[in-house]
Amino acid sequence: MVKVTVCGAAGGIGQPLSLLLKQSPLITHLSLYDIVNTPGVAADLSHINTQSKVTGHVGKDQLEEAIKDSDVVVIPAGVPRKPGMSRDDLFKINAGIVRDLAAAAAKFAPKAFMLIISNPVNSTVPIVAEVFKAMNVYDPRRIFGVTTLDVVRASTFVAELIQADPKSLRVPVVGGHSGVTILPLLSQVSGTEKLSQEQIEKVTHRIQFGGDEVVKAKDGAGSATLSMALAGARFTLNVVEAAVGGNLNIVECTYVDLDADKEGAADTKKLVGEDVEFFSVPVQLGPNGVEKILPIGQLNKFEEGLFASAVPELKGNIVKGSKFITEEPKL
């Protein structure tokens, strides 16, 4: 039995993500929570002839019922960007939304894998971690920032340039999930050696600012939803597949507390600094979530420069998220 709850299920990401999850034979109960419209979304999805039961829950009064005993809680709840905004501009609204959902999960589903999509991910993941710590149920192996869209984008953009198959090309993207904190490691992808330095710099910038490309094109109507739903479903299903399907061959880059595997993260800590608590790293998934943190691997000089710009910004984002709970606890 696998219960997956989507919080923000009636939204631009929530609906297509739920549709993709409904197709999985691994999920037995798909629980849809939002502050609006979930009864309709649930009724609609429940007519699809796959095995999972779909339930819709709307409003705070139904949050306990929605989340209780979930194995996985996916959170794409909150507001998206408009042109001219940074992800950090969303903090004011989304931090409180994520805090309250995390508190409910810590209370009613403390063992759930928490998959955080709501921006700014660099700060919302530390918020969830601090809520779980405050409620004495913290296990760093079970909380993930979903950065899969950066990997999906990187694979698409790089494949276009080197004429590879975008579906099978894997470009590692580490760091965080905003602008210069997004660190694609193109030197580790075979085929990129034929690109000029100018091409490398251009595509790196495109991967780092791919979200802005969509925000600009949507022109006030939100940010990436469909590509994010695909990326979110891929990550969710991989977590489930490793946890209950017993598949130990799944590696995804994801933003985690590096304490989830201190030994595995030792080299990354040496590179980014002992005081950087959260970083997106290649993670081998397993029955308890993070099975192993794998090494980031070799960087070239250009990538070392990218790391140097990323770390101070990322540290600020992490502290901002953590302090939101430790300095104003409202659990």
Partner in contact with 7, chosen from ligand LMR, ligand NAD, none, beta carbon below 5 to 8 Å by kind: ligand NAD
Which residues contribute to the site for ligand NAD (CB under 6 A)? 7-8, 10-14, 33-36, 76-81, 90, 94, 97, 101, 117-119, 121, 146, 149, 177, 222-225, 228
**Beta bridge partner(s), residue 3:** 29
Stretch that binds ligand LMR, among 1-9, 138-146, 208-216, 248-256 (CB under 6 A): 208-216
The distance of closest approach from Cβ of residue 87 to ligand NAD in the complex, given in angstroms and rounded to an integer, is 6
Q: How far is residue 10 from each of residues 41, 183, 189, 308, measured CA to CA in Å?
A: 7, 31, 37, 39
Task: Tell me the β-bridge partners of 285.
Answer: 290
Name the residue nearer to ligand LMR (CB basis): 65 or 213: 213
Q: CB-wise, 204 or 254, nearer to ligand NAD?
A: 254
35 makes contact, choosing from ligand LMR, ligand NAD, none, with CB < 5 to 8 Å by partner type, with ligand NAD
Q: Other C-beta atoms within 10 Å of 20: how many?
A: 16
Give every CB contact of residue 73 below 8 A, 6+ residues apart in sequence.
Answer: 4, 5, 7, 67, 101, 105, 109, 112, 113, 114, 115
Rounded to whole angstroms, the Cα distance separating 140 from 235 reads 17
| Rg of the chain on CA atoms, in Å | 19
Nearer to ligand NAD, 103 or 272 (CB): 103
Pick 52 or 122: Cβ nearer ligand NAD? 122
Question: Considering CB distances under 5 to 8 angstroms, the limit depending on partner class, which of ligand NAD, ligand LMR, none binds residue 14?
Answer: ligand NAD
Return the one option of ligand LMR, ligand NAD, none that residue 215 interacts with (CB less than 5 to 8 A, by type).
ligand LMR
Residue at shortest CB range from ligand LMR: 211
Least distance from ligand NAD to the Cβ atom of residue 12, Å = 3
* 215: contact with ligand LMR by CB under 6 A: yes
| DSSP-derived secondary structure letter, 80 | P
302 vs 31, 183, 201, 281, CA distance in Å? 45, 11, 9, 19
Cβ 170 vs Cβ 155: under 8 Å: yes
Determine the interface stretch with ligand LMR among 5-13, 166-174, 199-207, 210-218 (rule: CB under 6 A): 210-218
Q: Which residues face 29 on adjacent strands?
A: 3, 53
> 3-state SS of 257-295?
EHHHHHHHHHHHHHHHCCCCCEEEEEEEEECCEEEEECC
By CB under 6 A, what part of segment 111-130 binds ligand LMR? Answer: 119
Active site residue 177: yes
We find the least distance from the C-beta atom of residue 81 to ligand LMR, in angstroms, to be 4
- Please check whether residue 48 is in contact with residue 74, taking contact to mean a CB–CB distance below 8 angstroms: no
> Catalytic pick from 29, 47, 57, 177?
177
CB of 146 to ligand NAD, least distance (A): 5
Q: Which of 130, 131, 78 is nearest to 106 (CA)?
A: 131
The answer to whether residue 206 forms part of the interface with ligand LMR (CB under 6 A) is no
Of ligand NAD, ligand LMR, none, which one does residue 91 interact with (CB within 5 to 8 Å by kind)? Answer: none
Residues that bind ligand LMR (CB under 6 A): 80-81, 87, 119, 149, 211, 214-215, 223-224
Residues forming the active site: 177
